[in-house]
Amino acid sequence: MILIAFRCAAVVTALAHAAITIPPRPAPARRMAVTFDDLPVVSRAFTSVADHARITRSIVAAIRAHHIPAIGFVNEGKMYRNGVPDSAKIDLLRQWTRAGLELGNHTYSHLDLHTAPVADYLADIARGDTLTRLVLRESGRTPRYFRHPFLHTGRSLEVRAQVDSLLAKRGYRVAPVTIDNSDYVFAAAYDAALGRRDSVEARRIGREYVDYMERVTAFYEGQATAIVGREIPQVLLVHASVLNADWFGALATRFEQRGYAFATLDEALADSAYRSADTYVGPAGITWLHRWGLTRGVPRATFAGEPEVPADIAAAAAR
């Protein structure tokens, strides 16, 4: 009797151990580096330092909640008041660095390389990292990446070479983008809805934004396969807006549901796809996937089908 009881107990114990054994999860099939432009904040309607502090806290909190090693690109012209560095605005950058996040150079005043004299643009790059360097130095780092405003990289290879030469001298690498999108259009419409205190419309715009971004992501997954021959680690561009303060967490969840793990920009750019030739010098600010495709001479029809912003949201943004 004792032997039977012992054997039963052993069986129960074995079953219990089996029940709590959890097989290891497969590694996510997709990777994404997340980049935010126009730091510290870009907003039409919410312009006070208190607004910007709240917006920054919300963005950084969403990034941390999803364990995203994001990088923010700074327009340093926003960091001054009456020509003097504003300590409250500098503290907005510290919210990023204290969370272990990286900062990069997005020029001082968001000049457009396709319309500004090259000398002015180069000066804007050089002027665009004074405060960023000081903030990063507090944690023993320096800015390492540069993002072209409007993704405009030059209308000639000669101009591109001039810009690249200065960037190399200052220790910068260009931060490419593969998932470009119109989040700024949704952000403008969202600001307008919140400005008139229409929370119902704001929620609708937010939900539409997350759905739109999933469609865009699916499109660029397909573009990678069509142009490179496989999916690659993607580099996402979004902006430091009120919209993303409120909805980036939901968007990050949607990415995770698509099988993405979040990577550093270094990790994404280690993929061989990012060594693809790029000789594009056209007028548009386009993704690096399309630059590679144009350089390789893929048929123009390959690029068709990019999701569009819903017409009513585009109209609201334009008002």
**pLDDT tens figures, 45-68:** 999 999 999 999 999 999 999 999
Q: Which CATH number fits the domain that encloses residue 150?
A: 3.20.20.370
Q: What is the pTM of this model?
A: 0.91
> How large is the angle between the packed helices 311-318 and 183-195, nearest 10 degrees?
60
Q: Judging by DSSP bridges, how do beta strands 102-105 and 71-74 pair with one another? A: parallel
Q: Left, alpha or beta for 4 (phi > 0: left; psi -120 to 50: alpha)?
A: alpha
Asked if the structure places residue 14 within a domain, the reply is no
DSSP 8-state class, residue 172: -
Asked if the structure places residue 272 within a domain, the reply is yes
Asked if the structure places residue 74 within a domain, the reply is yes
Give the range of the structural domain holding residue 84, as residue numbers without chain letter: 30-318
| Number of folded domains that form the chain | 1
Asked if the structure places residue 4 within a domain, the reply is no
Asked if the structure places residue 34 within a domain, the reply is yes
* Residue 203, C-beta contacts closer than 8 angstroms, at least 6 positions apart: none
Q: Look over the chain and give the mean of its residue pLDDT values, rounded to a whole number.
A: 93
Asked if the structure places residue 7 within a domain, the reply is no
Tens-place pLDDT, residues 66-122 = 999 999 999 999 999 999 999 999 999 999 999 999 999 999 999 999 999 999 999
Asked if the structure places residue 11 within a domain, the reply is no
